[in-house]
């Protein structure tokens, strides 16, 4: 497969409600769409999941676009790809910049899946010898809330809607204590807590209290984004599973975390680790090591969400993912289809490739974007 065209389209979506985390409030979501056209005529789409600011991860929309334009595209010019993994080989000498790689790789996987007349989910599954589920159990990640009563009501609504697992964002140690009381209000529900690095080893006593809650599955990224050692010291003292997110940018990071004992679970996001090729390697490794694994989210637009759903459909994950229904995120999305929550599940698109279609407005805008491959 040879690419004949690659174009970028920066877009911005407005969240229905601001999403509060320890990094601040997000109310708009800048994304960059990638359009790839192969010589065989097939169109593939990708979505760049970096944020506007380098607070959750080092990349930003701007740095990632620059890396795509100046580093990734020149490595693809005139190259023939036999399988999507060839993209990883062609870009292996680029350090870091995982979201930039994952965005272009997504469009390439989309094309290859279409070429094989498979949905992206079926195609991904072939590489690890599994068949995807057609309905995917999902959870919801709820932004932090200072008001106890408000958060309690939001949790109640999410449970009524059918979400199979609730993740609460924490911004500080006070909200950690509030979370204990919130979890006690919903003994039948399953919870995760995500600190996005806002806690410290000093919170060991409070975290030990959390460990006694039977409805808490894990605590995500409690400590600093680069600190695997202190996570290991904390995990050793804690019966509650630590799950790593920001710490894990590669298969090597997972291996280091395992060697040190830094966690018992991994939140997998293809965009954070450089794409599906690495994500599949991490899946295989976590299975060998008996690490719990589940699929995270990045407040994706419709293209990125279709890609995340394809990954989450593989029957290799231990918990429902952070992959909520379309109506939870954006009033108008990038794609014509809506992902609907029914019985706590979202149906996987059945068409080939990503299985979704970009709205006409964006297709039109792409027509005006230059082909960066020539």
Residues at the site binding Mg ion, with contacts judged by CB under 5 A: 194, 220, 245
Q: Where are the beta strands (DSSP E) in 122-256?
A: 135-137, 140-142, 166-169, 191-194, 216-220, 241-244
- In the residue annotation, 169 being an active-site residue is answered as yes
Nearer to Mg ion, 83 or 200 (CB): 200
Q: Counting contacts by CB under 6 A, is residue 47 touching ligand OSB?
A: no
Q: Which of 169, 209, 237, 292 is catalytic?
A: 169
Distance CA 19, CA 17 (A): 6
CB 3 within 8 A of CB 90: no
Q: Counting contacts by CB under 6 A, is residue 59 touching ligand OSB?
A: no
Q: Counting contacts by CB under 6 A, is residue 105 touching ligand OSB?
A: no
- In the residue annotation, 12 being an active-site residue is answered as no
Quick note: the x/- pattern for ligand OSB over 180-209, rule CB under 6 A, is: --------------x-x-------------
Give the closest residue to 305 by CA, choosing from 337, 259, 265, 273: 337
Element containing residue 31 per DSSP (H, E)? strand 24-38
DSSP characters over 264-327 = SEEEE-HHHHTSHHHHHHHHHHHHHHT-EEEE------HHHHHHHHHHHTSTT-SS-BS---GG
Nearer to ligand OSB, 52 or 229 (CB): 52
Distance CA 174, CA 179 (A): 9
Q: Counting contacts by CB under 6 A, is residue 61 touching ligand OSB?
A: no
Q: Counting contacts by CB under 6 A, is residue 302 touching ligand OSB?
A: no
Quick note: the x/- pattern for ligand OSB over 140-179, rule CB under 6 A, is: -x--------------------------------------
Nearer to ligand OSB, 296 or 349 (CB): 296
**Rounded least distance, CB 308 to ligand OSB, Å:** 8
Question: Of these partners, Mg ion, ligand OSB, none, which one is at the site of residue 50 (CB under 5 to 8 Å by kind)?
Answer: none
**What does residue 267 show for φ and ψ, rounded to 5 degrees?**
-90, 115
| Burial zone of 175 (CB within 10 Å; 0-12 exposed, 13-18 middle, 19+ buried) | buried
Q: Which of 101, 167, 190, 269 is catalytic?
A: 269
CB 26 within 8 A of CB 299: yes
Q: Counting contacts by CB under 6 A, is residue 333 touching ligand OSB?
A: no
Structure tokens at 287: 């299975």
Q: Which residues are catalytic?
A: 169, 269
Q: What residue ranges bind ligand OSB (CB under 6 A)?
A: 56, 141, 194, 196, 245, 296-299, 322, 324
């Amino acid at each position: 497969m040879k690419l004949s065209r690659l174009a970028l389209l920066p877009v911005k979506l407005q969240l229905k409600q601001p999403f509060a985390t320890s990094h601040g409030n997000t109310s708009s979501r800048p994304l960059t769409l990638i359009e790839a056209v192969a010589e065989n005529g097939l169109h593939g789409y990708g979505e760049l999941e970096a944020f506007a600011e380098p607070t959750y991860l080092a990349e930003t929309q701007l740095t990632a676009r620059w890396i795509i334009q100046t580093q990734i595209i020149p490595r693809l010019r005139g190259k023939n790809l036999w399988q999507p993994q060839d993209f990883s080989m062609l870009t292996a000498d680029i350090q870091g910049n995982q979201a930039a790689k994952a965005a272009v790789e997504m469009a390439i996987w989309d094309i290859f899946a279409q070429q094989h007349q498979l949905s992206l989910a079926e195609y991904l599954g072939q590489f690890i010898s599994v068949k995807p589920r057609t309905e995917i159990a999902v959870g919801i990640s709820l932004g932090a809330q200072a008001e106890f009563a408000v958060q309690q009501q939001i949790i109640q609504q999410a449970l009524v809607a059918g979400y199979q697992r609730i993740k609460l964002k924490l911004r500080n140690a006070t909200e950690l204590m509030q979370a204990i009381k919130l979890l006690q209000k919903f003994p039948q529900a399953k919870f995760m807590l995500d600190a996005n690095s806002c806690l410290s080893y000093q919170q060991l006593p409070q975290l030990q209290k959390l460990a006694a809650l039977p409805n808490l599955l894990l605590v995500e990224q409690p400590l600093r984004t680069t600190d695997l050692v202190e996570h290991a010291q904390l995990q050793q003292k804690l019966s509650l599973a630590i799950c790593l997110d920001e710490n894990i940018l590669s298969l090597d990071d997972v291996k280091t975390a395992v060697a040190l004992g830094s966690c018992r679970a991994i939140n997998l996001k293809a965009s954070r680790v450089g794409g599906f090729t690495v994500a599949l390697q991490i899946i295989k490794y976590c299975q060998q090591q008996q690490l719990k694994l589940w699929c995270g989210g990045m407040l994706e637009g419709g293209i990125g969400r279709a890609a995340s759903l394809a990954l989450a459909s593989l029957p290799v994950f231990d918990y429902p993912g952070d992959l909520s229904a379309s109506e939870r995120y954006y009033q108008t999305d990038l794609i014509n289809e809506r992902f609907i929550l029914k019985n706590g599940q979202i149906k996987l698109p059945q068409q080939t490739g990503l299985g979704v279609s970009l709205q006409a407005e964006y297709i039109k805008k792409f027509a005006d974007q230059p082909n960066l491959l020539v």
